[in-house]
Amino acid sequence: MSVERNGRVRRGSHGVLHAGVYFRNGGVMAQLIARDVKKVFASSGSGRKPVVALNGVSFEASGHTFVSLVGPSGCGKSTFLNIVSGVESVTEGSVELSEKGGEATIGYVFQDPRLLPWKTVMENMLYVQPAHGREKGSREKQREHVRYFLDLVGLGRTESMFPGQLSGGMQQRVGIARALSIRPHVLLMDEPFSHLDAITARGLRTELQRLWDDTDATVLFVTHDVMEAVLLSDKVLLMNSSGSIYADMPIDLARPRTQTDQEVVSTQAEILAVFEQMQKESEQEPEEDRTKAQLGVEAS
Amino acid sequence: MATETSSVRSSSAIWRMLTSDRGAQWTARLLALGIWQVLSDRVVDRLPSPRETIEIMVLEYQNGDLITNILVSYRRVGTTLAIVLVLGILIGSAMGKWMPARYYFKDIVFILVSLPGFIWALLSVMWWGFSDKGPIVVGVLVATPILAINAYQGAQAVPANLRAMSRAYRVPLRREFRSLTLRSMSEYLFAGFRICVLAGFGGVLLTEWFGNSEGIGFRQHYWYDGNNFNGMLGWGIVEILTIVAIDRFLFDPLLRRLRAWRVGGEEWSG
């Protein structure tokens, strides 16, 4: 075991950090059920049509599962994550998120790091923590807890720095550490590596696989990069531009995976073929028909 | 040879001192005193000189009026600004966050901003006479709308993406208000509160002038009635020095602290 009892991280024999049981939720797993979720954004000006972002999305995920939502820009992937997180509400349908019937904790890694620029890294981490108790030393315990996760993403020495003093990749790692630090039952990730350079993104993907492997969290990962989805996921949900799930594809490949694995490459090709088929069908469908179908959904 | 070198050294030290930031500050102060002296000697009739002004304030001190009246006004201004801070932030942030609050307060705030303190001061004397209430209420009425408008603009500047992040993480509302809302608004609040200090001070002193038996404003009126401009100006200087001291010793350090992250943020260049 690489974790000491007080929660401090110890490096393994190869210099790799291990989270171990420290942020497992005691085997308690979340269940996410989305039933026929529809989301329509009202038009902001007169004469403008309402925008149908999601159109009957249904799926279930529970426990230690990594699900990727893949689709073209504007297909409602991020809207779905916002609905799961409670930032947005559904127009129709429902999203149930529970762990043992109670409320599941949610961690959210956004496209941009979304750190409070006037707070240090440590303060940013503490900002999202549940209120600490009044007993003596509870605040220090919370700091120790947060330090553990900063160490985990290799940023233990940056706790007193401001986000503006960190590179984009480091800020995103703080975002990941912040999400993990609340020991989430569900981890939402909205294109977390899309703003990073290829080398940093590749390193963080590997790191994410390792970190997630040590948790019980259900991950909902939004991306439009098929390779990224194949590399990380147990299941890929392909979404089309009308905001529906076009295909539900399980990925049964051994972990850890690398971009150059033969099976990863061939699975990626299969998914891309389905993706291209979906795009073709979408282009053939007249724009007017799609709008009518969507507004019909809204009217119902 | 040695004497020449040391005189060159000392003259360059004097030059450095004169051209330093502190030197520029003291040059401006001395110049202001000089201009005041010249104006009082040669240009403006009945403008007391710096020496005459100081002399009368020393007399005020000796007969016990200086400290007593300063403390009375400070207490009133302190109470006024504490109330303004709470009301201004609450009204302004409510206006920025909730549409009904915006429509409720918008006209009220703009009417209050446009009403001169002079009117409130006269009304307060009619309503409350020579009590503490008048100066404080007038100060609050004059300064609160200024802070509310600034807080309103600040509340609109709270980054929506950080708000969404806070909601996603179920950050308690109190913590969100303290660490995100208030902090995003802080530069607006700061600018607004600086003007509030001037407006609040002005409101309190104006009411003391019209209808009170204590305070800096009352003493100014007292000397005005006595046709003594030395006393009037002396008390005016007390007011100016107070505002400068608040700015220098309270606002400047606070602003430096508030902006520490910006300085820190500029260090990263990679």
Residues B49, A139: Cα–Cα separation, whole Å: 60
Q: What is the mean pLDDT of residues B200-224?
A: 92
Per-residue pLDDT band for B163 (boundaries 50, 70, 90) equals very high
| Nearest neighbour of A118 by CB, restricted to B164, B166, B183 | B183
B261 and A118 within 8 Å at the Cβ level: the answer is yes
Instruction: Work out the minimum CA distance from A84 to partner chain B, whole angstroms.
Output: 9
pLDDT for A236 beyond 60: yes
Q: Cβ contacts (< 8 Å) between B261 and chain A: which residues?
A: 117-119, 162, 164
Q: Residue A13: its pLDDT value, please?
A: 31
With pLDDT > 90 as the criterion, what percentage of chain B qualifies? 53
The DSSP string of A126-162 is HHTSPPPPSSTTHHHHHHHHHHHHHHHTT-GGGTTS-
B172 and A131 within 8 Å at the Cβ level: the answer is yes
A164 and B264 within 8 Å at the Cβ level: the answer is yes
Per-residue pLDDT band for B269 (boundaries 50, 70, 90) equals very low
Q: Cβ contacts (< 8 Å) between B270 and chain A: which residues?
A: 167
Q: Which residues 135-164 on chain A approach chain B with CB closer than 8 angstroms? A: 161-164
Residues A43, A49: Cα–Cα separation, whole Å: 6
Q: Cβ contacts (< 8 Å) between B267 and chain A: which residues?
A: 164-165
CA torsion through residues B220, B224, B230, B236, sign: positive
Q: Of the ranges A11-20, A62-71, B146-155, which one carries the lowest mean pLDDT score?
A: A11-20
Q: Over the stretch A143-196, which tens digit does the pLDDT of each residue have?
A: 999 999 898 888 889 999 999 999 988 999 999 999 989 989 999 999 988 877
What pTM was estimated for this model as a whole?
Answer: 0.74
B168 and A116 within 8 Å at the Cβ level: the answer is no
Q: Residue B270: its pLDDT value, please?
A: 32
Residues A147, A181: Cα–Cα separation, whole Å: 9
Q: Residue A134: its pLDDT value, please?
A: 65
| Nearest neighbour of A162 by CB, restricted to B171, B258, B264 | B264
Q: Cβ contacts (< 8 Å) between A128 and chain B: which residues?
A: 169, 171
Per-residue pLDDT band for B264 (boundaries 50, 70, 90) equals low
Closest residue in A to B178 (Cα) is A127
Q: Over the stretch B76-105, which tens digit does the pLDDT of each residue have?
A: 999 999 999 999 999 998 998 889 999 999
pLDDT for B262 beyond 50: yes
Q: Residue B203: its pLDDT value, please?
A: 93
Q: Residue A44: its pLDDT value, please?
A: 66
Closest residue in A to B268 (Cα) is A165
Q: Over the stretch A1-16, which tens digit does the pLDDT of each residue have?
A: 232 323 333 333 333 3
pLDDT for A263 beyond 50: yes
Q: Of the ranges A105-114, A204-213, B25-34, B107-116, which one carries the lowest mean pLDDT score?
A: A204-213
Of A150 and B9, more confident: A150
Q: What is the mean pLDDT of residues B208-218?
A: 91
Q: Of the ranges A44-48, B136-140, B141-145, B180-184, which one carries the lowest mean pLDDT score?
A: A44-48
Which distant-in-sequence residues (6+ apart) come within 8 Å of A264 by Cβ? A227, A230, A231, A253, A257, A258
Query: CA angle, corner B143, sides to B138 and B145, nearest 5?
Result: 110
Contact between residue A108 and residue A85 where contact means Cβ atoms under 8 Å apart = yes
Residues B268, B270: Cα–Cα separation, whole Å: 6
Q: Of the ranges A23-32, A100-109, B40-49, B120-129, which one carries the lowest mean pLDDT score?
A: A23-32
* Test mutation, B158, B163, B165, B167, chain A, max A CBs within 10 A: B165
CA torsion through residues A154, A156, A157, A159, sign: positive
Per-residue pLDDT band for A28 (boundaries 50, 70, 90) equals low
Q: Residue B268: its pLDDT value, please?
A: 38
pLDDT for B166 beyond 90: yes
Instruction: Work out the minimum CA distance from B259 to partner chain A, whole angstroms.
Output: 8
Instruction: Work out the minimum CA distance from B159 to partner chain A, whole angstroms.
Output: 10
Per-residue pLDDT band for A24 (boundaries 50, 70, 90) equals low
A114 and B175 within 8 Å at the Cβ level: the answer is no
Q: Cβ contacts (< 8 Å) between B168 and chain A: which residues?
A: 82, 85-87, 106, 108, 188
Beta bridge partner(s), residue A109: A189
Q: Of the ranges A254-258, A286-290, B18-22, B69-73, which one carries the lowest mean pLDDT score?
A: A286-290
| Nearest neighbour of A165 by CB, restricted to B164, B172, B265 | B265
| Nearest neighbour of B165 by CB, restricted to A108, A162, A165 | A108
B169 and A110 within 8 Å at the Cβ level: the answer is no
B262 and A119 within 8 Å at the Cβ level: the answer is no
Q: Of the ranges A194-203, B115-124, B164-173, which one carries the lowest mean pLDDT score?
A: A194-203
* Burial (Cβ within 10 Å: 0-12, 13-18, ≥19) of residue B246: middle
Instruction: Work out the minimum CA distance from B51 to partner chain A, whole angstroms.
Output: 48
A117 and B264 within 8 Å at the Cβ level: the answer is no
Residues A293, A287: Cα–Cα separation, whole Å: 10
Q: What is the mean pLDDT of residues A70-91?
A: 91
| Nearest neighbour of B164 by CB, restricted to A87, A128, A162 | A87
| Nearest neighbour of A86 by CB, restricted to B167, B179, B264 | B167
With pLDDT > 70 as the criterion, what percentage of chain A qualifies? 82
Q: Residue B5: its pLDDT value, please?
A: 64
Model-level ipTM above the cut of 0.85: no
Q: What is the mean pLDDT of residues A215-224?
A: 90
